Amino acid sequence: MEGTSLGVRKGAWTGEEDILLRQCIEKHGEGKWHQVPLRAGLNRCRKSCRLRWLNYLKPNIKRGDFAVDEVDLMIRLHKLLGNRWSLIAGRLPGRTPNDVKNYWNTHQRKKSISPIVDVLEEKEQNMIVKTKVIKPRPRTFCKKLTWLSGKPSTIIRERTLIQPKDDIATNIMSPTLTPSENRMKYRWECLLGDNEAGDEIATRALNTGFDEELSTTIWSDDEIASAAKVGGTFDIHDQDGFSFLANF
């Protein structure tokens, strides 16, 4: 793996390079990775420096075997998130995305290749929920939409969502899931999110439950505007046949 490309060193890092990189980060802080090789006096590319720091030199990195509870959490998170290693690692203190990925590829993937485990996993999948990988994406709306521009309109829109008894749950509700699936989703959102009151909210969600009825209502522009402030998932249709799923 040793070698150079355009004069940039590749391959395993030496102890000397580690020291230079660590000193540089301690002095200037993380970030501005394109400046790090110059500042540290390293003949490495920015990517290499960043990776070395994040995966090896950064303080508080936990090394050694994964504990049973870490593996358990990893499996659950992987079921929910798929191969989103940085998110999974974010919930495993001291573990890096590379660590998690390597562990998964060497231990867990091996297990999933096993036909017996395959069958068990499939059964478990059927018992719980179909995996739905949630990838947050920014949504952009056409500015021609009158209700976004604030102009009055007579356009009919439908709002379809499962009504929660507790409005605090509204934000993460999905009309495409059953109430129990929504409960599960809610718990995970609370677990994965940065919500400070996550535990309390999760408990309340479990104790509260959700109504099973879907409601379809014609909303005025004002109602939609207020709903957007509260938040939630909306299946919106207008009279031009334009429809989309919106999360506020």
Partner DNA sequence: AACGACGACAACCGCTTCAGT
Partner DNA sequence: TACTGAAGCGGTTGTCGTCGT
**Interacting residues toward DNA by CB under 7 A:** 1-2, 5, 9-13, 31-34, 44, 46-48, 50-52, 55-56, 63, 83-87, 97-99, 101-103, 105-107, 110, 138
Closest of 140, 219, 137, 217 to residue 175, by C-alpha: 217
Looking at the Cβ atoms of 84 and 91, the one nearer to DNA is 84
Looking at the Cβ atoms of 107 and 132, the one nearer to DNA is 107
Looking at the Cβ atoms of 90 and 175, the one nearer to DNA is 90
Q: Least distance from C-beta 74 to DNA, angstroms?
A: 13
Q: Least distance from C-beta 23 to DNA, angstroms?
A: 17
Q: Least distance from C-beta 174 to DNA, angstroms?
A: 21
DSSP secondary structure, 167-180, as one string:
GGGGGG--TTS-HH
Q: Least distance from C-beta 99 to DNA, angstroms?
A: 6
Q: State whether residue 32 is helix, strand or coil.
A: coil
Looking at the Cβ atoms of 103 and 147, the one nearer to DNA is 103
CB 75 within 8 A of CB 68: no
CB 234 within 8 A of CB 219: no
Q: State whether residue 85 is helix, strand or coil.
A: helix
- Tell me the C-alpha to C-alpha distance, in Å, between residue 82 and each of 1, 75, 128: 30, 10, 16
